Structure 1
Amino acid sequence: MPQAAFRLLAECGFFTFLLMTTPKPHYWRADITGLRALAVIPVVLYHAFPDLLPGGFVGVDIFFVISGFLISGILFRQLKLNNKIDYFDFYAKRVRRIFPNLIVLLLAVAVAGWFVLLPSEYSDLGKSIYSSAFFYQNFRLLKTIGDYFAPNVIETPLLHLWSLAIEEQFYIVFPLLCWAVWKLRKGTAGIGFLVFGITTASLVGCLLVRDQTFNFYFPLTRFWELGAGILLAYATEFWNFHSNRLTSAATNSMSIIGFCMIACAYVFFDHATVFPGISTLLPVGGAMLMIAAGSEAVVNRWLTLKPVVFIGLISYSLYLWHWPFISFLNITIDEPTVLQTICAVAASFLVAAATYVWVENPIRRMSAGILGKRVVAGLACALLACVAVGQTLRFTKGLPDRPVAFVQMIGDADKDWSYNEDLMDFNINGIPLKKTRDGKPEILFIGDSHIEQYAPRVARLARTSGIGGVFLTKRGCLTSPAVLGQINLSRTESCRQFGRQLDILLGTKKFRKIVYANMFGRYLHEDSLVSIDGQNTIPLDEGGFDFAINSLFVKINGDPIAEYVYVILDLPWMDDWKNQFHIKNRMFFNKLPSIDGTVNSHWREGNEMVSMIGRAYPKIKIIDPVKDVCPSFACPSYMYQDDNHLRSSYVRDHALWIDHIFQK
């Protein structure tokens, strides 16, 4: 009765034509292999040139349908012939098919990353490697990357392995469910209801969930695409459906309609399409029609041409390799040319063909004997070795000490800041400060983050000279005992308190030397900041800057606060500067573009104003690093941590212009 009910349900819908009968004597079909080519080529084109084929990403959905049809067919045939599923044979074949190429890919990506990735990027790659080896890359991407169509995902070399993870997750669970239902029901109807139920529930879940990023990566909202292929396999194996019982007009129509559905998805879909969703029915339905049409259908015959079949044979290998080539190209070179992208895609074709011929195919065709079992065990161990490689990159934080010139020179710019790490907490008369760990604090460093950036060099000089230094700083506040206020109420009190602390410290503590630095040019043109003179407020860009600087210089120039006072002028910075360490040719990093100090002249105007004011005070000595470090106002971009701060590693080794401050 259940079987009859399921047949009746099928007759009412898409599967009416599946009830024809004729056994299939062999299982490999050249047209399905050709359909793989029809799936993988658009994916490659979309990844290389997104505007050329905006819907090319749906090729992955066609892969899901094909995979569901072929793999479930293996399971169903085992149930029919042996009344059981040979799990070892099933998973051994999957291991021999999936693991060899994947292992080579993961190791190759790890080697490539050694030479061209920053430490944080290399650490992230390590996480992707072990996630891919354990087949849960889709969950990691759902948590970390999010939107598959975001522009920056091109810098994730293993992004594409989310689909492989979903397939393997399904085929870990599905055979167990099939076997359990088969044993309980002792018939095909239970399997049919299982397949239909999983497919329908997954599709409904996909349509109901609003979060498209979740839908894209989550297996339960993707399983219905595999289920579509499984339904075809069920009809083929248990209902003896075969296209030979259909008329040539029917199969040709199915083939043409299916191809047109797929082609429409490729041409008319793009990143704005709600996907997966109701739109996904178009490529999935098209793939089902083409598979059901059989190899003699009009379009399917074109898919059996030898060049097309060859691309289909290497499709798995090509899918694995094409994205890392494109990704590393975009990581290494800023805005690669069309020719460079074509060369990367061509290289991926060559590598895919080579790994198919010399790695994937020989291992896949091994017998299931003793040698085959040893190979399976060896592949499992090799994949675990990939996991170990990934974990090593993760726990070593991307091997920042790699003996690679690019890494040694560039490193992780945005993380190269160690003000707090180089100093210890300290206080004088209750005023919180930062202090070098060596020597009595004879030198006071005051300012904003532009004095904080010198902390690594100060700490080194303190150790070698025995002269200690102490920092009183406040980021975003012009340093002055004139009590700097700010119209923005969220920062007013903190800047005022900082001014009071400075005034108190200079009035109660004597230092041998005072060193002062600020982002002068920023405050000179700041209209939301004010200096406070008694009851009067003076905006910085209307004379308040001069008043604040003069107030500080009058204070520190007098006796006996300090014997020597040094003012370090600012190096060039740019408001619209982007992180140069992510937009460069990493293969030729010695040709990095320089920071052009003429683009934003505010830094120079601030320097000139401070120098002019400072010349009126005999105790003040001006330190100008620009002429030595940045000839013609062009500074090497590898010096910078962001658009206006120097990197700690650069300062530690190269900020020689402050060394004489520590001379006794």
Structure 2
Amino acid sequence: MATVSAPSITNKTSPNKSKYRPEIDGLRAFAVVAVIINHFNKNLLPSGYLGVDIFFVISGYVITSSLAGRESKNFLDFLTGFYVRRIKRLVPALVVFVLITSVLICLFNPDPTLALITGGTSLVGLSNLYLLNQSTDYFAQSTELNPFTNTWSLGVEEQFYLLFPFLIWFSGFGRQKDKGARNLFLLVGSLTIASLISFIYLYQINQPAAYFLMPPRFWEMAAGCLIFIGFQRRARVEQALEQVPPLLVMLAMVGVMFLPIGAAVPATISIVLLSAVLIACLKKGTMTYHFFTLEKVVYVGLISYSLYLWHWSVLSISRWTLGIHWWSVFLQVPAMFFIAYLSHKYIESPLRKTRHIQSIQTAIGAALLTTSVNASIIFLLNHKSANVFQFANPQVRLIEKRLDNGKVYRSLILKDSDSWQKWGQAAGIKKTKGCHKSDLIRESDLSKCLGIDKSDGFKSRIYVIGDSHASAYAPGLTNAFPDAAVRTYTVGWGCAYLPRSTAAHISRIKNFNCNDYIANIDTFVSNDIRPKDMVVLSMDWRDGAGKKNSPGLGNAVASLAERIVSQGAYFILLDDVPALGDPLLCQKTWYRPSPLSSCVKTIREVATDQSSLDAIGRMITSASQTNTKYINLRQEFCDKRGICSIYLDGVQIFRDDGHITENAAVRYASKVLKSELASLMR
């Protein structure tokens, strides 16, 4: 995201004498606006996130051009000069952004730990690695609710800066050697090929790693470096690319941004190549050059670093408060630009130009001091955040609930909703045994998770499989059938009992062996199911879960049901709970006068959402009328008027945006399950 004045391509002298290229700032404006549109609404510009990739190309070009011809006494002088400029450019605005946003998010998020850690790691250029780690955590906060998610790109860029000056110097380019440019081109070119291959390969097997790590992103910044060197050394290349109509290139870039997210690899490669070509072919006298050099467009480019930082903070905090609506855009966009204006004018520009920070010792000392102060404040906020939240939300109290995996879930409960606690005391839920797998799937899972000690004397056995939505129903089954052995073997990461092709796709993008889970279920059905056993399947049916539109899902479920029934056992398919908003965002407060539209649905809307699941239910029950059942539970979580929300009878029944509480499973699901399945348990 760095914004450095770009020299003219054709200038081969000291960058201090170079011509400023305002059109590069215009291109920055184009990139940041695309990112903002995408972050407001992905449907408007599905691949607008590629604006970040444009920033990467610009950074590679600008950094190379700023180092071309720069005189240095020795390597240490060259290196310290480079890092002093980077620290002065990036750190001040980032420190202020992290500090202010950390305080703000604690006012609205009762458990801001993940957000605060992301902000803290961004101060040392490691937030991309932290987010990579969190991307495989089922209970990680939504990226849209983390106000520091956007700092991943700064981490990538800063890690690039750790390597790039060494390439510049030891290739001879930084020492103005005769073959320095040639050596740098060959060196960076070789690394570019390796990086691009790693990006394409990793995207197929571990999408988060391809997205967050610097090595698979190196080629994007290297593209900017190569285009600068190529134009410096090859007049024919320069002349050829200057003949390319820049308007055509820009329109192609816009077109790429309308590609669906599923085309991420070709879209990324295309946008990087087109960005490099556009930098090369932008020349005076063209309509595109005129557009990119308009005063207001250039200004947006100049403040693009601060705008990139703060736009996400505004959107994230808006999602915690008033939400994102068509009318809120008229508040949020001016807020983004006004804060970016203040940041650029009073933080970025003054500190970048200050003469008080010239030595590397002073720069590092200032950076360490401000970062340490910020980190200390973040630490205090994290440990006192509930108090900060309560200060802003006196009408809301927190009830902590420790989940089976050891993580703490904090649910928001209105003060007058004491019935929740009464149910917690009176339910007397018998602990359901089993596992919810969020780590490596192993063959030993079967005996560990589904094994039943014969000496326990259970009259019947119920096995719950699927994902976390299935395990949320398990307490209802345990309560309905106290004499039965209820065992769960469920899985996270978007996996469940799915078609092999879908499972393979999930395994690639989530770096999780989903197919092994399915293989374990198949093995269990073949070897361990006995007559009169009951296998219960349920899964997340929300649009974003990926299962709803999984090709061949109906056939996969039907095949599983047929094998279970053929052994004299019962197969039960449960529908899903209504897909509603996160309870944290559905509370009516002074800063959120009305809950989000996603917080409430009608039973008819829920039925429409799950119509394809109903079709699968009809298909399996028509094949075997006696040993299969499809049970509709969704209406139990809606009131008599057919309105579904996170509350029912004054009780919070959802612990997040997709999982019912244990008490809800006992109080509402249990009676239907008992009524529907009692005849099979005899």
Does the 8 A contact of 2:125 with 2:158 survive in 1?
yes
Structure 1 SS opposite 2:86? helix
TM-score by length of 2: 0.59
In structure 1, the partner of 2:309 is: 320
Call closer, same or farther: CA 1:529–1:203 in 2, change over 3 Å. same
Q: Which amino acid aligns with 1:177?
A: L
- Encode CA deviations 1:114-147: one digit per residue, 9 max, x unaligned: 210112xx11112101210111111111111259
CA distance in 2, matches of 1:226, 1:639: 45
Does the 8 A contact of 1:251 with 1:293 survive in 2?
yes
CA distance in 2, matches of 1:230, 1:240: 14
CA distance in 2, matches of 1:232, 1:300: 18
CA distance in 1, matches of 2:11, 2:429: 84
Structure 2 SS opposite 1:106? helix
Question: Aligned match of 2:228 in 233, 239, 253?
Answer: 233
Question: Aligned match of 1:474 in 430, 446, 458?
Answer: 430
Does the 8 A contact of 2:459 with 2:483 survive in 1?
no
CA-CA distance at 1:634 after TM superposition: 3.7
Structure 2 SS opposite 1:404? helix
TM-score by length of 1: 0.61
CA-CA distance at 1:254 after TM superposition: 4.2
Question: Aligned match of 1:139 in 118, 125, 129?
Answer: 129
Alignment of 1:584-623 (within 5 A): 584-588=587-591
Does the 8 A contact of 1:142 with 1:213 survive in 2?
yes
Corresponding pairs, count: 476
CA distance in 1, matches of 2:143, 2:455: 40
Q: Which amino acid aligns with 2:193?
A: T
CA-CA distance at 1:66 after TM superposition: 0.5
Alignment of 1:122-161 (within 5 A): 122-145=112-135, 152-161=142-151
Question: Aligned match of 1:454 in 425, 431, 435?
Answer: 425
CA distance in 1, matches of 2:317, 2:49: 19
In structure 1, the partner of 2:170 is: 180
CA distance in 1, matches of 2:403, 2:208: 34
In structure 1, the partner of 2:252 is: 261
Which is further off, 204-213 or 164-173? 204-213
Call closer, same or farther: CA 1:473–1:101 in 2, change over 3 Å. closer
In structure 2, the partner of 1:310 is: 299
In structure 1, the partner of 2:100 is: 108
Q: Which amino acid aligns with 2:254?
A: A
Structure 2 SS opposite 1:78? coil
- Encode CA deviations 1:478-514: one digit per residue, 9 max, x unaligned: xxxxxxxxxx996797986799xxxxxxxxxxxxxxx
Is residue 190 of structure 1 aligned with residue 183 of structure 2?
yes
Is residue 68 of structure 1 aligned with residue 60 of structure 2?
yes
Structure 1 SS opposite 2:147? coil
Does the 8 A contact of 2:38 with 2:46 survive in 1?
yes
Q: Which amino acid aligns with 1:272?
A: G
Question: Aligned match of 2:90 in 94, 98, 104?
Answer: 98
Structure 1 SS opposite 2:385? coil
In structure 1, the partner of 2:390 is: 404
Call closer, same or farther: CA 1:241–1:383 in 2, change over 3 Å. farther
Alignment of 1:431-580 (within 5 A): 453-454=424-425, 474-475=430-431, 526=480, 576=578, 580=583
Structure 1 SS opposite 2:386? coil
Call closer, same or farther: CA 1:169–1:327 in 2, change over 3 Å. same
Which is further off, 381-390 or 193-202? 381-390
Give structure 1 stretches of 5+ with no counterpart. Answer: 1-17, 421-448, 456-470, 478-487, 500-518, 532-536, 540-573, 605-631, 648-664
In structure 2, the partner of 1:207 is: 200
Call closer, same or farther: CA 1:31–1:373 in 2, change over 3 Å. farther
CA distance in 1, matches of 2:345, 2:55: 21
Does the 8 A contact of 1:592 with 1:636 survive in 2?
no
- Encode CA deviations 1:252-280: one digit per residue, 9 max, x unaligned: 5242332133112122x22222x3x3432
In structure 1, the partner of 2:642 is: none
In structure 2, the partner of 1:221 is: 216
Is residue 352 of structure 1 aligned with residue 352 of structure 2?
no
Call closer, same or farther: CA 1:151–1:581 in 2, change over 3 Å. closer
In structure 1, the partner of 2:630 is: none
Structure 1 SS opposite 2:327? helix
Q: Which amino acid aligns with 1:475?
A: K
Structure 2 SS opposite 1:330? helix
Is residue 56 of structure 1 aligned with residue 48 of structure 2?
yes
In structure 2, the partner of 1:43 is: 35
Does the 8 A contact of 1:257 with 1:289 survive in 2?
no
CA-CA distance at 1:285 after TM superposition: 1.5
CA-CA distance at 1:26 after TM superposition: 1.6
Question: Aligned match of 2:650 in 635, 638, 648?
Answer: 635
Question: Aligned match of 1:287 in 275, 292, 298?
Answer: 275
Call closer, same or farther: CA 1:176–1:603 in 2, change over 3 Å. closer
- Encode CA deviations 1:317-357: one digit per residue, 9 max, x unaligned: 11010011111111224x53221244222211110111111
Structure 2 SS opposite 1:86? helix
Identity percentage over the alignment?
A: 22
Does the 8 A contact of 1:406 with 1:589 survive in 2?
no
Does the 8 A contact of 1:203 with 1:221 survive in 2?
yes
CA-CA distance at 1:20 after TM superposition: 8.4
- Encode CA deviations 1:43-66: one digit per residue, 9 max, x unaligned: 001101211111211111110010
Call closer, same or farther: CA 1:524–1:106 in 2, change over 3 Å. closer
In structure 1, the partner of 2:25 is: 33
Call closer, same or farther: CA 1:639–1:75 in 2, change over 3 Å. closer
- Encode CA deviations 1:417-449: one digit per residue, 9 max, x unaligned: 89x9xxxxxxxxxxxxxxxxxxxxxxxxxxxx9
Structure 1 SS opposite 2:257? helix
Q: What's the Cα RMSD here?
A: 4.8
CA distance in 2, matches of 1:489, 1:351: 55
Structure 2 SS opposite 1:338? coil
- Encode CA deviations 1:596-624: one digit per residue, 9 max, x unaligned: 9x9999799xxxxxxxxxxxxxxxxxxxx
CA distance in 1, matches of 2:179, 2:114: 48
Q: Which amino acid aligns with 2:353?
A: R
Which is further off, 170-179 or 578-587? 578-587
CA distance in 2, matches of 1:196, 1:522: 60
Does the 8 A contact of 1:157 with 1:327 survive in 2?
yes
Q: Which amino acid aligns with 1:114?
A: C
CA distance in 1, matches of 2:254, 2:381: 42
Larger Rg: 1
CA distance in 1, matches of 2:600, 2:268: 48
In structure 2, the partner of 1:338 is: 326
CA distance in 1, matches of 2:199, 2:393: 44
Does the 8 A contact of 1:199 with 1:224 survive in 2?
yes
Structure 2 SS opposite 1:400? helix
CA-CA distance at 1:369 after TM superposition: 6.2
CA distance in 1, matches of 2:66, 2:137: 35
Call closer, same or farther: CA 1:633–1:278 in 2, change over 3 Å. closer
Q: Which amino acid aligns with 2:252?
A: M
Does the 8 A contact of 2:12 with 2:69 survive in 1?
no
Which is further off, 399-408 or 137-146? 399-408
- Encode CA deviations 1:347-396: one digit per residue, 9 max, x unaligned: 111101111111111111223666997576434411232233344455x3
Q: Which amino acid aligns with 1:349?
A: F
Does the 8 A contact of 1:68 with 1:230 survive in 2?
yes
Alignment of 1:381-392 (within 5 A): 381-392=369-380
- Encode CA deviations 1:618-650: one digit per residue, 9 max, x unaligned: xxxxxxxxxxxxxx9841649989845679xxx
CA-CA distance at 1:206 after TM superposition: 1.6
